[in-house]
Amino acid sequence: MAKKKGAWFKPGDKIVYPGYGVGTVRCFEDRNIGGEDRTFVVLDFNEAENVSVVRVPLDKVEDVGLRPISKPKEVKAAVALLKSGEPEILSSWKDRFADHGDKLAAGDLSSVATVLKALWILNGRKPLSFREKKMYQKTLLLLSSEFAEVQKKSREDAEREILALLEAAGGA
């Protein structure tokens, strides 16, 4: 399982793709697209809710936000966010949805935890709209898949732990 020149990962590595979650590097693939030779990293996502294969041009890895799995210290920071007070929640649905989308696109664990906490609190106040409900489900999947990978447990166990943290923190 060799590294491709210029890549910080190799086949078999687990990495995070914002918006998709934790994936496994399957391989590198050379393709000719429109007369141009390009190298792609092929990623497998195998969660029941997110089974897919994604190809990312190697020269766009930074642009799309691929990153290594978070360190345990980053998980602790995300847990602290879930346990702590209320994040800023914008009153306008449109502004709130755009803000949450930007935070999820950033892809860092703390941003994902902040969005989840905000949506959890909102859902306790009134039912979420269809789009916010989908965002909540996606955010919970993203956070629990990375927690599971870092803590070496099942995604379902990580999800239960996250929901218990939110419940204990109140606000919903």
Asked if the structure places residue 151 within a domain, the reply is yes
Q: What is the CATH classification number for the domain harbouring 54? A: 2.40.10.170
**pLDDT at site 49:** 63
H/E stretch holding 39:
strand 36-47
Is pLDDT at 26 greater than 80 in this prediction?
A: yes
pTM of the model: 0.86
Q: How confident is the model at residue 11 (pLDDT cuts 50, 70, 90)?
A: very high
**pLDDT at site 7:** 77
Distance between CA atoms of 47 and 27, rounded to whole angstroms?
A: 19
Query: Domain span at residue 100?
Result: 70-169
pLDDT digits (tens, 9 = 90+) for 29-46: 999 989 999 999 999 998
Asked if the structure places residue 99 within a domain, the reply is yes
Is pLDDT at 136 greater than 70 in this prediction?
A: yes
Instruction: Label residue 73 exposed, middle or buried (CB < 10 Å: 0-12, 13-18, 19+).
Output: exposed
Hey, what amino acid is at 76? K
Number of domains the chain is built from = 2
The mean pLDDT value for 66-74 works out to 94
The mean pLDDT value for 144-172 works out to 90
Mean pLDDT of the chain: 89
Is pLDDT at 3 greater than 80 in this prediction?
A: no
Backbone φ and ψ for 54, nearest 5 degrees, come out as -125, 135
Asked if the structure places residue 6 within a domain, the reply is no
Asked if the structure places residue 8 within a domain, the reply is no
- Cβ pair 65, 105 in contact under 8 A: yes
Asked if the structure places residue 1 within a domain, the reply is no
